Every structure is written in structure tokens, then in C-alpha cells.
Amino acid sequence: MRKIWLVAQREFLENVRTKSFWIGILIFPLILTAAIVVPALLEKTRQARPFAVLDRSGWVLEAVQEQVAAGAKRFVLVEPALDAQSAAAEDTLNRRVRDEELFAYFIIGPDPVRSSAGSEYRSKNLTDSDLRDWFGELATNAVQARRLEQEQIDPAIAEWIREPVRFEARKVTGAGETEDVSAQDKLRQWAPLIFVYLLWVAVFTIAQMLLTNTVEEKSNRIIEVLLSSVSPVELMAGKITGIAQTGFAIIASWIIAFFFITKYVPGLLGAPVGLDLTVLTRDPVYLASFVAYFLLGYLLFAAMLVGIGAVCNTLKEAQNLMGPITILLIIPLLAMLPIGRDPNGPLAKVMSFIPPFTPFVMMNRAAGPPELWEYVATTALLLVSIGLALWAAAKVFRIGVLLTGKPPTLREILKWIRAPVGTVAVRKEPR
Amino acid sequence: MEHALTLDRVTKSFGDFRAVDAISLVVPRGTIYGFLGPNGAGKTTTIRMFMSILYPDSGTITVLGDPNPEAVKDRLGYLPEEKGLYKKMKAAELVSYFGRLKGMAAGPANARARELLHRFELGDWADKKCETLSKGMSQKVQILATLIHDPELVILDEPFSGLDPVNVEVVIELILELKRQGRTVIFSTHVMEQAEKLCDAILLIDKGKKILDGPLADVKAGGPRTVIIDYDGDGGVFRGLPRVARVNDSGKHAELTLEDGASTQDLLRQLVDRIAIRRFDTREPSLHEIFVRAVGGKTHA
């Protein structure tokens, strides 16, 4: 036990000193902060967009003038002093748009009350539709008012006719009652996706750290020196523990960063806090299952990767063997959205029982939530698989770490796992 | 007093390949003991077995009087042939880490690591990362990491391979120092000359089988005496000499084994007109000669 701890401690300290550890710690808060700050800054720094209107109806522009002046400061109406009816006016405005004096201009058709014929929006940039939507809505309102007037329809009646049928979303609670759905609840519904993604990133990075680390130790030829002091199983256990500590340090920093950034950064920017994201970090069920599934998922993949690491002598060999495992890991990521939409559907249920997917899929389904027996059964299955995987990894590790030369084939590895301890040849390539 | 190491009919097979075949030997305490044999003879496998890295299929191993080698692992120091350092660790940290793995407490391990580095002129490198050390320095650090916990039995697998003459001297001096301190040293090598200079006793193995073992003096006394000749001239004269059983000619130096009852006087008479002899000497056979004779001259060390 003491030796396992010593190995773990050394692993942890060595990892903490690497750049990739600090990148791992910092990358998430940086991305999160950027995701909040950048759109806000963009909104502030957007340029004013001058535009012009050729009003061939003769009245629409006048009807909306006041709202245009009072409206968004970003869109500035330029009065071109042109004859709206002439074709030459279009040429002039086209040129001004081309020279970027104007962002865009509108042509209002001769009779918008009857039809939109002749109404156009012209710009070099058609991807940004903010101006078009905004002015379009103002014009529509003016035209619709005129139509109601013409047909002598009471605007209140028109409003009522246009009223859509709204289905209010209500959540059926565990007690079989219904309750209102707030924005918070919607967030809670989708929050598991954030957690699945973080879980995935964490498991993937940390397990890969273990792989790199084992291969390096082997290619450094330090393994045999270590084996004269610790047993292969102690060494493996120590490495897995040490890297797990590193992983926990990283995800703990993420959770803390998530809490503080979502709580304070929007406030610092003066933006209203639309959604209180901190609710996620305060929900003990999510947090606890996140930590638990991180540990379980990590252990399962750690067992696979430490075995791979033990049989490879170079990172390149390891990456080749790593291929199938990467594919295995990507599947739950692909299933993330479908499962999020239908957390208790057949796909979700079946995938929960495939151990390499269990941590991700069960986290994914947290909003469902799955029934208790499903938690118990999938976790039991996962624990059994982890036990088996660690046992197999220990066997591969003890043979593999002393191996030099070409990595073994999968068939050879399976043979090692089945063979009793100590009967498998350790190849030694002549030098 | 119990022996440092006793092997009794120890056998280890890998599949169909018998790497070590019923080897028995005794290493007395306080001696320098050489495991000799060509590459692939089974030296490393034997060592790995009493280091509890591999387990024998049959036979018993007693290390420092304990029939369970695993129990005394912390009293052994092992430097494998394939050895390395953690590149990112500082030299003192690394040496101390290995001490702690052998059961030392953190404080004494740190102090002792620094003391050792100073004694071996690596004091300035104690806080440098291992990746900055030269090959010779790395080798020293590895050896110090093997010795930090004052092991009673030190095992060095091919300690001289890849070293320049200066560092070979450093390692030889270290082995002699260990002996002066009363420790037992086992080292393996395929270079007979080094073993001949250092060892009190040897084990000679080939293809997993013991050829012979025992104190160096006994081993040598058992063989027929040989004639050593240092000469200038054409070494071709040694071919076809009557009553000479075997010739090891190195160009300027030759070792001749005579047939039983052959006279060295006759030999000298035959040679004296044909080459310029600088030295003509009879003595016990060299390990090289013993080895070549034992394995039937088929294997070249």
C-alpha cells in the first residue's frame, strides 16, 4: 500500500509540473469566459449600419419614421435626397453600397398594401439579416395597420385572430403532479449534455495521460529498475491512482471555475443574468454523479490504456493500438443529442448497459431520470467490468512492461490474459 | 553464516524455450561474484528470478537466508541492463525516490541522496533535471539510486556495457568499495577480462545450463596451464605446431593450450627463430580460454 502511494504521489507531482496539466486546468475557464465575454463585447463594438430607403409607395417611410429614429441606434437612416421613382436612384445607391458608404438599402414597392411586389432589400452582406428583420417588421406593422383600416377591421379582433395556440410546458414530477417549467428547469433538462461533454473530455484526456506516461516510462527503460522495488501490480495501481488524482484536481478546478465564472462574469460586464447557471453546480445529484461517473469511466478506460501502454515501446505504436478505443469513446458523444432528447428511450436504455458507455449515457440521461433499478444494475455491471479489466490489465502489464521490440498482436495479448501468471515468454531482442 | 544467495536446481521455461535449466549455485557473503556467459545464455533471466521479477517454474531460491526472495527485496539493490531515469525529475529527487521505494523515510532518503551525489562529484547536479546529465553522469546516478538504501546484496546486470574506459574505472572502483564495506556484489557480463580482474567466484552459463562455478582460483586451477606469448611477426607460425591443442591468437598476443605432457621448451625452440618473442610465460588458463574450452569452442564470447 505504501509503495502504491509513493508511486501515485510521484506521478501526481510529475504531472502537476507539466504544461499540459496547467493547460487542462486553464482551458475550460478560458473557453467559458470567452463564451460569455466575446458575444457581449461583439454586441458593444458592432459598427453603426447606415442604410437608405427608396419609398415608392410614398407613405410607408413616413409612417415608420418616428420608430426608426427612436429604434436601434445601430441602424442609421441616411436621407439620400434622390427621386425615389427614378431608376437612376437605384444605380446611385448600388454604387454607394458597393463603396461601403451604405450597408444596405430598401426599396418599398408602389403598393405594399396590395402586395410585396417591387419591394427589395439590397446589400453586399446578406448573411447579417438583423437590419432586414428589424426594418421589415416596422414596415410590416405599418402596412398591416393600413390593411386593417381599409377593411374596417378592429385591430383588437385582428390581434385575437392572429393569436397562436400555445402549449404551456409543464413537467410531471416524481409525485405524479405537474409543475410550471421555468427557464431553470429547461436548463436542467439540457445540463446533462454539458456534463457529458465535460466528462468525456476529462476521461479522454486523463486516460490518455496515463497511456503516454506508461509508454514513456517503458521507452525510458526505467520500468525494470522500478520492478526491483515494487511489484508490477503495485506499479500499475500507483500509476492509475496518481493519474486519477491529477484528473480530480483538473475537474475540481473546472467545477469551481464554472461556478465562479457563471456567477460573476456576466455581472462584471453589466449584462443581466438571464439564466442562473450556478444552479448546475449547486445541484448535488449532478455533481455527485459527475464525480462518480468520472471515477468509474476513468478506471475502465485506464485499465485498457495502461495495458496498451505496457505493450508498446513508442508513442506511435500506442496511438495505433489506441485507435479502436478512440472509436469506442466517440460513440457516446455521437449519441449525446438523441439521448438528451429521449433520455428514457430504447437507445438510451440499451446503451446504458454497455459498460464502456455507461458513465456517459447515464450522465446523459440524468434529466430523465432513469429508474433506480437501472442505476443499480448498470453500475453493478460497470463495476464488474472494471474489475475484469483491471485484472486483465494487470496480467498484460506484468508481461508487457518487460517486453522490448515489436508490440504483440491482439491474439497474443488475449493468450497472455488466459495463461496462468509467469508462463509467458518475455521476448528479449538481441541488440 | 548464511550465504548471500543460494539457487537449487532453478528452472525457468518460456513456452518451449528453456531459458534457465536446473541451475544451482552458492554466492558466499562479502564476495564479488560474476555471472558469465554469452548473450542469451540466461544471465538476466536468472537475475530476474531472484529479484522476484520473474518466478521460477521449479527449484528453490534463498536470498539473504530467506526462502521467500520477495520478503527481502528491500535489502537488495538491482541495476538492470536496460536502465533509465525519469528525465523530468531532479537527480537528488530521483535518488531519494528510489530510496523511499525501498522503505526509507523521506527525510533520511533526501539527506542520503544529496550526500551520495556530493561524494560522487555530482553535487552541482543534485537539483538539475536528469535529462541534462551526460551518459556517464546518468550511469552514476542510476548506480547511486541502486545503492542509496545500503543494500546487503547488490546485483549489477552488464554494468559496463556502453561505458567509456573512464566510466568503466568508476564502476570498478565502486564495486571494490562495496566489497570493502562487506557487501556482496553479483554482476553479469559477457566480457571475460573484466570478470577475471574483479571476481572472487564465478558462474559460467551457456544456453541456460551451468557449465561450471566456484571460486575463481579453483576454476582456473582445474584447467591445464597455458602458454602466453607476446610477439611481433607473422602469427601464422602457430598454425600446425605439433602437440598444441588450441591457439587463441590476437595478433600480438597469443594464448596456447598444450596437449598433455607436451614440453614448453620444445615449443619455445620451434618459435624462437620465426617470430620476435617479447614474453614467454606459462600460467593458469584465462577465463576466456576456460570458457571457449567448456562450450566446445563453438560460441565466441
CB contact under 8 Å between B51 and A227, yes or no, is yes
- Integer Cα distance of B5 and B11 in angstroms: 16
Q: Does A401 touch chain B (CB under 8 A)?
A: no
Interface test with chain A among B85, B98, B101, B102, by most A beta carbons within 10 Å? B101
- Integer Cα distance of A354 and A300 in angstroms: 12
Beta strands in A231-333 (DSSP E): none
- If we measure between CA atoms, which residue out of B116, B228, B136, B234 comes closest to residue B177? B116
Tell me the pLDDT tens digit for each residue of B59-98: 999 999 888 888 888 899 999 887 888 888 899 999 999 9
CB contact under 8 Å between A222 and B83, yes or no, is yes
- Integer Cα distance of A227 and A398 in angstroms: 10
- Integer Cα distance of B294 and B301 in angstroms: 12
Low-confidence stretches of chain A (pLDDT < 70) are: 45-46, 72, 80, 171, 173-189, 266-283, 404-405, 420-431
Q: Provide, as residue numbers in chain A, all residues whose Cβ is less than 8 Å from the Cβ of B208.
A: none
Interface test with chain A among B12, B39, B46, B53, by most A beta carbons within 10 Å? B53
Task: Write out the three cell numbers for A27.
Answer: 482551458
Residue B105 has what pLDDT? 92
Q: Does A74 touch chain B (CB under 8 A)?
A: no
- If we measure between CA atoms, which residue out of B258, B253, B241, B252 comes closest to residue B293? B258
Q: Provide, as residue numbers in chain B, all residues whose Cβ is less than 8 Å from the Cβ of A17.
A: 88
CB contact under 8 Å between B53 and A227, yes or no, is yes
Domain boundaries, chain A: 2-39+183-418, 48-162
CB contact under 8 Å between A228 and B40, yes or no, is no
Nearest CB among A220, A230, A430 relative to B85 is that of A220
Virtual torsion, Cα A43, A46, A48, A54, nearest 10 deg: -80
Q: Does A422 touch chain B (CB under 8 A)?
A: yes
Nearest CB among B78, B85, B86 relative to A228 is that of B78
Fold of A48-162: D-Maltodextrin-Binding Protein; domain 2 (3.40.190)
Min CA distance, B100 vs chain A (Å)?
8
A262 three-state secondary structure:
helix
Residue A186 has what pLDDT? 66
- Integer Cα distance of A90 and B165 in angstroms: 92
Tell me the pLDDT tens digit for each residue of A291-340: 888 899 999 999 988 888 888 888 888 888 888 888 888 898 888 888 88
- If we measure between CA atoms, which residue out of B19, B50, B15 comes closest to residue B37? B19
Do B207 and B42 contact (CB within 8 A), yes or no? Answer: yes
Task: Write out the three cell numbers for B101.
Answer: 521505494
Read off the amino acid at residue B59.
G
CATH number of B224-283: 3.30.70
Those of residues 13-32 in A touching chain B at CB distance below 8 A are 14, 17-18
- Integer Cα distance of B123 and B134 in angstroms: 14
Min CA distance, B53 vs chain A (Å)?
6
CB contact under 8 Å between B53 and A220, yes or no, is no
Residue spans of alpha helices (H) in A312-371:
315-334, 336-341, 346-352, 358-364
Domain boundaries, chain B: 5-85+133-220, 224-283
Interface test with chain B among A220, A225, A233, A401, by most B beta carbons within 10 Å? A225
Strand B253-258 versus strand B244-249 pairing type? antiparallel
CB contact under 8 Å between B54 and A228, yes or no, is no
Say how many C-beta atoms besides its own lie within 10 A of residue B152's C-beta: 17
Interface test with chain B among A7, A18, A220, A229, by most B beta carbons within 10 Å? A229
Residue of A nearest to B162 (CA): A431
Residue of A nearest to B44 (CA): A428
Tell me the pLDDT tens digit for each residue of B105-140: 999 999 999 999 998 888 898 898 988 888 888 888
CB contact under 8 Å between B17 and A231, yes or no, is no
What does the angle CA A303 – CA A308 – CA A313 come to, to the nearest 5 degrees? 140
Q: What separation in angstroms does the CA of B220 have from each of A76, A275, A392, B202?
A: 107, 90, 50, 11
Fold of B5-85+133-220: Rossmann fold (3.40.50)
Nearest CB among B54, B77, B101 relative to A3 is that of B101
Residue A191 has what pLDDT? 74
The whole-number mean pLDDT for each consecutive block of 10 residues of chain B, a chain of 301 residues, reads 86 84 91 88 89 87 88 90 85 93 92 90 88 85 90 90 81 89 90 86 90 86 82 84 83 85 84 87 83 63 37
Min CA distance, B70 vs chain A (Å)?
9
**Which long-range CB contacts under 8 A does A14-19 form with residues at least 24 apart?**
A14/B86, A14/B88, A14/B89, A15/A209, A15/A213, A15/A242, A15/A243, A15/A246, A16/A246, A16/A249, A17/B88, A18/B88
CB contact under 8 Å between B84 and A227, yes or no, is no
Task: Write out the three cell numbers for A413.
Answer: 495479448
Strand A75-77 versus strand A49-55 pairing type? parallel
ipTM of the complex: 0.78
Do B232 and B252 contact (CB within 8 A), yes or no? Answer: yes
Read off the amino acid at residue B175.
I
Q: Does B100 touch chain A (CB under 8 A)?
A: yes
Residue spans of alpha helices (H) in chain B:
43-50, 91-101, 106-119, 135-147, 165-180, 192-198, 216-222, 264-272, 287-294
